[in-house]
Structure 1
Amino acid sequence: MKIGTGHSAIAIGAIVLGAAVIVGVAPRMKQREALARAQAELAGPKRVRVASARPGEPTVEITLPATSAPFRSSALYAKATGYVRKNHVDVGDRVAAGQLLAEIDAREAGDEVRLARARLEEAEANVGIAKTTADRMSRLAETGVASAQQGDDTRALANSAVAAVAMRKAELQRLEVLAGYQRVVAPFDGVITRRGTDPGALVGAQGAGGAAMFEIADAAMLRVVIDVPDAYAADVKPDVQAQVFSPRAPASKVAGKVVRTSGVLEQSSRTLRAEVHVRGDGPILPGSFVYVKLIVPRAAAAPLVPASALIVRKEGTLVARVESGKVRLVPVTVGRDLGKEVEVLEGVAAGDPVVVNAGDDLESGQAVEIVAPAKT
């Protein structure tokens, strides 16, 4: 009985020891298997998501602030000194080119014209006397009664009298032109936007402090001047289509086009000055703040990639391009930032698969497995 009891104790101990070994070793084996699986995954292709670089849009729309202005405007000043006799128009009146706007009472100008006319008549009479005297003296010089010098002197006096007539005519014409300035007329078709003088006011070089009598504007066509950023300047040229609208009524757009550009960038702002023309009979008032939407054709539309495809490292901005199941990190030149997408001017072509949200551990030549195309 004692021998049997000893054998049973040994058997029980062996069982307990075996169970302990199994309990202790099993977790270690599982850890080794998990580590082996992780190492196998690391050694295999890296799983990545890709997106295809898509072709850039043939046109781009940009919206810029601007101010509208009349096609042409002018301030009208009096050139004749006198008093305003009558104003024939007022603010808001539409006028035609050559239409009488005001009359100036410049009596002194009339007196000067009459005086100049009398002096011209006197000079013409002197010419007749001088020519008669010169002819008579020439005949006397031929007979020896008068000297040749006397004949030359009288001919010189006759020539001077002719020159005096020409001078008096020019003076009369000048004064008649000045007298004509008593009528202030419109230089072009337009609208009177300001009246600066009232009847009885002294105007001219010495009157009203040089204030303008009227201001006139031709608003049949409007000029809208915009400053185009450097990124778009090369593509903004004459005939580029535009839409002008007021922020108060964004739905009421007026079609126009670019008619000219400065051709150079302003150094201070790096912008290109461009001028858009639109008709003036629409909802846009001259002098109002507006927005201009340009529909700009792209000479060479750069491909677009998701912004998440850009990798910024010490060597520069890169994109992970997938080629034959492997990654190739290529340097790129970035153009315009469009928010979710960016233009790539160099380094990527349309249709190239690029990795999005690439990790810092991604290296050139590394094998990858495409999980699913990323949404762009």
Structure 2
Amino acid sequence: MTRNDDNKAKRATKRNLSRWIKRVLLALVGLGLLALIVVAWLPKPVVVETAVSEKGKLVVTVDEDGRSRVKDRYVISAPLTGNVARIELRPGDTVQQGQVLARLVPLTAPLLDARSKKEAQARVAASEAARRQAKAQIERAEAALEYSKKQAKQTRELVAKGVVAETESDRANLEERSRQAELTSAQFGAKVAAHELSMAQAALGAFSAPGKGGDQMNVPSPVAGRVLKVIQESEGVVQAGAPLVEVGDPAALEIVVDVLTSDAVRIQSGAHVLLERWGGDTLHGRVRLVEPSAFTRVSALGVEEQRVNAVIDLDEPYAKWKALMDGYRVEAKIIVWQGADVVKLPSSALFRRGEGWAVFVVRGDQAAVAPVKTGHDNGLEVEILEGISPGDRVIVHPSDRVADGVRVAYR
């Protein structure tokens, strides 16, 4: 083979190699374009918001607006028909038991007819019966308080020995405080009954010994407290029984919250209550009772609702809530259930699936449907009894684009 032949062979080899390189490059470019087309046509992952299930405290409350109310209040009324002098007292003034609140000049004797005399006699009889009833209530309240004190003492001893839980001691202490409040209220009622009797007797005395027209009768306060309202401020003629002044003790407040009857059945006596948005720091209280009789109220939407009052005692010293007065608005959160170590999820993660509930769990980069069994729900979080473990990541607010097996990407 000559030298020229060798050169020709080399040039031919180079040309063949160049052709193969071009073909390979073209093939790679084609594969790349094909891959780009495939990727472009593949469904993109759905961007979702997620939350991680965890163990923690869950509190279920009944949230309603309420108002403060003086526990024991009394409306001082005119014992008989006459001319009342101008009342100089103002709301907020302090009054002592027996202090004169109003001065009344009875009408002259000719106007005191037989019918009025019989009415006065009936008021005396009714007042005597009320005083006897008040005395019986005091005796009953004293017996209940003595029993609750013994129970509280025994419970504290059992707690110290570790026989019963601390919550039992709290419940016994609450019972003792409630019985003490009942005794105080009964004593207040006895004072009021005695005052009613004295006023009724004084009115009847005007018939027995009417004297001269213009004799003045003093109307005293049956209890110590503060003036809540002056009903008859100006001088003028009033009828027997007409309200004059309202007296009470603002330091003895209770909170009244009207709740739906469907919620009331879950509220237990002694339930813990948080009182917020009254103008100061959050206050703590306890449910004393749920009244036995409900009433109908029309909601803002025009729907008739059956509601009942829950009465709450404050568990705070007076200095902490002294700015809270009679008739003030509060927001009450009545705790009906709480758990300290429960598996929970945001309520927004759940959706209906058949007759039950389910969530979307993120497994890898896909969404998977997981049926769950739920427990208590406070509107924001829900207790999970089965189907989810602590640490599982779930999708919250799932859209209609999320389905079982769909690729997802979470923030």
Residue identity matched to 2:285: G
Residue pairs, 1:15-54, within 5 angstroms: 15-27=17-29, 53-54=53-54
Query: Which of 206, 218, 225 does residue 190 from structure 1 map onto?
Result: 225
Task: Find the residue that maps to 2:25 and give its secondary structure.
Answer: helix
TM-score by length of 1: 0.54
- Aligned residue in 2 for 1:176: 204
Q: Is 1:360 equivalent to 2:402 in the alignment?
A: yes
Q: Is 1:330 equivalent to 2:361 in the alignment?
A: no
Change over 3 Å in CA distance of 1:60–1:272 after alignment to 2: same
- Aligned residue in 2 for 1:213: 244
**Equivalent pair of 2:53/2:394 in contact (CA under 8 Å):** no
Residue identity matched to 1:186: S
Name the CA distance, whole Å, in 1 between partners of 2:14 and 2:226. Answer: 119
Residue identity matched to 1:22: V
The Cα of 1:300 is off from its aligned counterpart by 10
- Aligned residue in 1 for 2:70: 70
Q: Is 1:257 equivalent to 2:286 in the alignment?
A: yes
Query: Which of 219, 226, 238 does residue 203 from structure 1 map onto?
Result: 238
The Cα of 1:224 is off from its aligned counterpart by 1.8
**Equivalent pair of 1:306/1:356 in contact (CA under 8 Å):** no
The Cα of 1:304 is off from its aligned counterpart by 1.0
Name the CA distance, whole Å, in 1 between partners of 2:295 and 2:204. Answer: 49
CA deviations 1:271-292 (Å, max 9, x no partner) are 6642223376622122333344
Residue identity matched to 1:259: R
Residue pairs, 1:1-376, within 5 angstroms: 4=5, 7=9, 10-27=12-29, 53-55=53-55, 57=57, 59=59, 65-84=65-84, 91-96=91-96, 99-106=99-106, 108-109=108-109, 176=204, 179=207, 182-192=217-227, 193-194=229-230, 196-198=232-234, 201-204=236-239, 212-228=243-259, 235-244=266-275, 247-248=278-279, 250-251=280-281, 253-262=282-291, 268=304, 273-278=309-314, 282-292=322-332, 294=334, 296-298=336-338, 303-306=343-346, 309-310=349-350, 317-320=357-360, 329-330=370-371, 333=374, 335-338=377-380, 342-344=381-383, 347-348=386-387, 351=390, 353=392, 355-356=394-395, 360-363=402-405
The Cα of 1:330 is off from its aligned counterpart by 0.7
Name the CA distance, whole Å, in 2 between partners of 1:308 and 1:87. Answer: 60
**Equivalent pair of 2:372/2:388 in contact (CA under 8 Å):** no
Task: Find the residue that maps to 2:102 and give its secondary structure.
Answer: strand
- Aligned residue in 2 for 1:164: none
The Cα of 1:212 is off from its aligned counterpart by 3.1
Residue identity matched to 2:378: R
Name the CA distance, whole Å, in 2 between partners of 1:197 and 1:34. Answer: 91
Structure index of larger Rg? 1
**Equivalent pair of 1:68/1:225 in contact (CA under 8 Å):** yes
Q: Which runs of 5+ in 1 are unaligned?
A: 37-47, 118-172, 369-373
Name the CA distance, whole Å, in 2 between partners of 1:195 and 1:182. Answer: 19
The Cα of 1:204 is off from its aligned counterpart by 1.6
**Equivalent pair of 1:91/1:195 in contact (CA under 8 Å):** no
Name the CA distance, whole Å, in 2 between partners of 1:175 and 1:285. Answer: 35
